A and B are shown apart, each in its own frame.
Chain A
Amino acid sequence: MSTLNVDALVGVSSANAITVRGEGSATTSLQQGLAKAWVNFNGTGTPAIQDSLNVSGITDHTTGDYTLLIGNDMANASYSYQGTSSNWETASNADSYIGVSGTHGGQATTGQRIVTYRERYDSATPQFKDPLTVNLTVHGDLA
């Protein structure tokens, strides 16, 4: 077994480009494959970050309306992000869930504005809600 002890990895030809041999024979990019930011936060009351990477804070605009603030900015606003959330109900409810959506025009190199909304497939129209847990991940290019 070969073990390499190192604190930082930098590309030689290009500082920002390191190729990694994949599980089979193909290769992939180390930098492009890494998540550039992620966060788990409590959305009730004042948003409280439970754990995160490269997140400087969460702005609470109003009920079910937040902006993820990225610590080290992205190179452009065309990054990929995904979000999930805990259910609004405190007990299991098969007809009610919380959806996470980005807002139109809410994406910037410094962060992403999102909304969290309660979906009631049994009856009610959507309602903005502050969920107990909101999870977001960001993949793309760092500045």
Chain B
Amino acid sequence: MASVLKVNTLTGVTTAGSIAVTGEGNSTTTNLQQGLAKAWVFSAADAALTNSLNLASGTDNGTGNYTYTYTSNLADGNCAAAASATDNTDLNVTVYSTTATVFTAEVFNQAGNEHDSRSRTIICGDLA
């Protein structure tokens, strides 16, 4: 019989921000908090947040250059970011600046020119 836990909030006992979860192989464990994405976004070409987690706003800095501000800040700028563009087949995205409060992404084409585009980004790291 499956065991179902109904709960609103999960908090570690020994360390509030650290809960271990047994992995798929039934032997090693992984960390629940560290495995969760701390922010993600589907952004419009003007930086509007179409859908997102933990982001308060997006700012259009100019052609192809966007800054996104967290709702709950990260502990520092040492996060992992991955991003993709949507509206063309030769666009790349680089997240070139990350701090505890914001990250900045640039969309560019193969000629190296900045380009306005919808984009998607995920942030993994430590919450403040």
Are A and B associated in one complex?
yes
B7 touches A8 (CB 8 A): no
Interface membership of A52, Cβ < 8 A = no
Closest approach, in angstroms, between the C-beta of A10 and any C-beta of chain B? 5
Of the residues A11, A22, A23, contact of B6 by C-beta under 8 Å: A11
Q: Which residues of B contact A83 (CB under 8 A)?
A: 84
> When the two chains form their complex, are residues B128 and A139 in contact, meaning their CB atoms are under 8 A apart?
no
Q: How far is the CB of A111 from chain B (nearest CB, A)?
A: 14
In the complex, are the beta carbons of A139 and B122 less than 8 A apart?
Answer: yes
Known contacts being A2-B14, A80-B51, A80-B121, is A101 close to B84, with CB within 8 Å?
Answer: yes
Of the listed stretches A28-36, A41-49, A86-94, chain B binds A28-36
0/1 interface trace, chain B 21-52, chain A, CB 8 Å (1 if under):
00000000000111111101110000000111
* Residue B62 lies at the interface, judged by CB distance under 8 Å to chain A: no
Measured between beta carbons, the chain A residues less than 8 angstroms from B90 are: 99, 101, 117, 119, 126
- The reply to whether A101 and B127 contact each other, CB–CB distance below 8 Å, is no
Which residues does chain A contribute within 8 Å of B126, judged by CB atoms?
A: 22-24
Residues of chain A lying within 8 A (CB to CB) of residue B42 = 78-80, 140
- What's the tally of chain B residues with a CB closer than 8 Å to chain A? 53
Closest Cβ neighbor of A8 among chain B residues: B4
- Give CA–CA (A43, B83) in the complex, Å: 21
Question: Could you tell me if A28 and B7 are in contact, using CB atoms closer than 8 angstroms?
Answer: no
Collect the chain A residues with CB atoms within 8 Å of residue B83's CB: 82
Query: Which A residues lie within 8 Å of B17 (CB)?
Result: 21-24
Whether B84 lies near A24 (C-beta < 8 A) is no
Bound-state Cα–Cα, A17 to B7, Å: 9
B63 at the interface (CB under 8 A from A): no
- Distance (Å) between the CB of B47 and the closest chain A CB? 14
Question: Hey, which chain B residues are within 8 Å of A13, CB to CB?
Answer: 8
Q: List 24 A-B contacts (CB under 8 A).
A: A1-B14, A5-B3, A6-B3, A6-B5, A9-B10, A12-B6, A18-B10, A20-B19, A20-B33, A21-B12, A23-B18, A24-B126, A26-B73, A30-B32, A33-B35, A33-B53, A34-B36, A78-B42, A78-B50, A80-B120, A80-B121, A101-B84, A101-B89, A126-B89
